[in-house]
Amino acid sequence: MDTTLQDPLVGQLLDGRYRIEARIAVGGMATVYRAVDTRLDRVLALKVMHPALATDVSFVERFIREAKSVARLAHPNVVAVFDQGAEGAYVYLAMEYVAGCTLRDVLRERGALKPRAALDILEPVLAALGAAHLAGFVHRDMKPENVLIGDDGRVKVADFGLVRAVGTVTDTTGSLLGTVSYLAPEQIEHGTADTRADVYACGVVLYEMLTGAKPHTGDTAAQVIYRHLNTDVPAPSAAVPGLPVALDSLVASATARNPEVRPHDAVLLLAEAREARAGLTDAELDAVPPQALSETHDGAEDRTSVIPRAFPADGDGTHRTSRLEMPPAAAPPRRANGPRGLSAGPHRRLITSVAAVLLALCVGTGVWYINSGQFSQVPSLLGQTQKAAEQRLSDAGLGLKGVDRVFSDTVERGAVVGSDPASGSRIRGNGSVRLVVSRGPEIVRVPDVAGSSLADARQALKKAGLAPGMATGEFSRDVPRGEVIRTDPAAGAGRNPDTAVALVVSKGGPVEIPDVTGLTVPDATAELAEAGLKAEVLPGRVHSPEAAGDVARQSPGRGAEAAEGDTVKLAVSRGPRMLDVPDVTGRDVEEARRTLEEAGFTVEVDRPFLSFSDTVGGQSVEGGEQAAEGSTITIRTKGL
């Protein structure tokens, strides 16, 4: 029986030009295929709108708008659009094919990334969005699924399907476009989205790359939306202790709930990202994030199903990455041995053998000729509803032998996924065909593992036919440390077999981190111990306004929350940096101020009584001497 799940477009020639080879991704609005442009003989990606949406004029207009918008963005980090067209019920875009994976795939596999890797991905994304913003467009759906990472390391932004002119900020359909986890507060509250909405989404993506988890989660989309509106995105260092303060600041800048406080567009955020990178050491950039609780996860709020790209089949006929069964290759015909090497035998036996072969050929030809008019071909049935398939069989003069039903993740309930004999097979004119009809996806209920240990919860998920997903920690005063608080999706939710279920594990009650900057190392260690925390003194010393030997900086900082027993890293001061003081005597006051401030000092101006001069007559520290960086230099104007 042929029960192979097939896509009706795979193997077809669309619009007389594009030969569709394999399906690589499925989204809510369209399916993406790998195809070959037969005119130019090049591989490309073909984005085909779902036929059910092709009758909706607004969807088609949005689809065409994507083609026109992206075609104007000639940028190396934007997936290029080559063509747009339609054939029958299929409306499509022909786009650049990027062999590789999505950022979502990377996060599922690796969890949190090193800061250097996160910035290496963020910067080309911002470069692409910056080009779009300067051209007058807003993406409006930035998320890891739309960041493609090629096998050659190139990063490209894809799916400008929700792109819109900067001046057009209102969602006139009344529905929220975009993905809940990455929506800016103003998109949710007012339905507006300008360049700063893309900046906010990029800040959320950066947080997710640095921590391996989304900043706002919930059992329902409504809970996630509520947190976007009412809760600031937390500092990444609160989830991954030790992350540099500069990265906390970058995330905070991009995800400010008030759009007026954010960078105006991706160009400005890119400048901030590069400035943050410049201030980090190699050790900080290459710090390995703790992965103890990081595993793959499903990303249920993302609502995007990605099918890994197909590669040539293995020897058994299976596309390993796509999990679509391929029909086995036909065995090559055996070559008959020729007469060479025959021993001299009776001539009559040779004539008899040849005659037998000829007789068999003649009989076979005659049988084929007699019966050729009695055979039919099984019509194309894949993807048809059961009723339509039965009608096609009847129209072809064929009967229905019966109906088998199987689970299918790719073919909607009630549609045909296969038949016996298969479509295209020869069958006697009065023969019958057995249909294989989809029951839709098989559903598995998420078990209730709240209160279980992490190990027991994972075992329960596997026993239920689900995959343990990424585990993240969360503070809880009610659930003991190490026990599961909840799952995502929630207990009782229906999911396909092998779907990853994320686990939220209690870190115990939160401990507020005290401010120990300015204290001696022993005093700082004692104060942290009193709060239930550990101190780790970093090697080397740093210049700071604090006295030499005192704590200059701490990470996480004051007011952040940590779990009992967590470690706070302390950097020890080597005292302020001593700088040469410029000689500004005789200069104009404003010029002198600028010179001293550029040299690293704070400036105060002292004007003697009845002095109306703007010329510097003296300075508190003479030129050529040294003073502490950031200290105050007083300049005095000339008197009468």
Asked whether residue 409 carries a pLDDT value surpassing 80, the answer given is no
- Cβ–Cβ under 8 Å, residues 138 and 166: yes
**Distance of alpha carbon 97 from alpha carbon 103, whole angstroms:** 16
Q: What is the pLDDT of residues 209-266, one digit of tens each?
A: 999 999 998 888 888 888 888 899 999 999 999 999 999 999 999 999 999 999 999 9
Set out the domains of the chain in order of their start, with CATH numbers. Answer: 1-97 (3.30.200.20), 100-306 (1.10.510.10), 384-438 (3.30.10.20), 444-508 (3.30.10.20), 511-573 (3.30.10.20), 578-637 (3.30.10.20)
**Distance of alpha carbon 640 from alpha carbon 636, whole angstroms:** 13
Q: What is the pLDDT of residues 156-175, one digit of tens each?
A: 998 775 455 444 443 433 34
Helix (H, G, I), strand (E, B) or coil at 90: strand
- Can you give the pLDDT at residue 454? 93
Q: How confident is the model at residue 6 (pLDDT cuts 50, 70, 90)?
A: low
- Cβ–Cβ under 8 Å, residues 121 and 104: no
Asked whether residue 109 carries a pLDDT value surpassing 50, the answer given is yes
- Can you give the pLDDT at residue 640? 52
Can you spell out the DSSP letters for 159-188? --TT-EETT--B-TTSS--S-GGG--HHHH
Q: What's the mean pLDDT in 349-356?
A: 40
Structure tokens at 616: 């510097």
What is the rounded average pLDDT for all residues in the chain? 80
Closest CA to 570 of 518, 616, 612: 518
Residue type, 112: A
- Cβ–Cβ under 8 Å, residues 625 and 583: no
Q: What is the pLDDT of residues 473-508, one digit of tens each?
A: 888 889 998 999 999 999 998 887 778 899 999 988
**Distance of alpha carbon 533 from alpha carbon 567, whole angstroms:** 6
Closest CA to 614 of 593, 587, 578, 580: 587
Per the residue annotation, which of 2, 7, 141, 194 is the catalytic one? 141
What's the pTM value of the predicted model, to 2 decimals? Answer: 0.47
Asked whether residue 614 carries a pLDDT value surpassing 70, the answer given is yes
Q: Which helix (H) or strand (E) holds 47?
A: strand 42-49
Catalytic residue check, 265: no
- Can you give the pLDDT at residue 550? 93
The rounded percent of the chain whose pLDDT value lies above 90 is 38
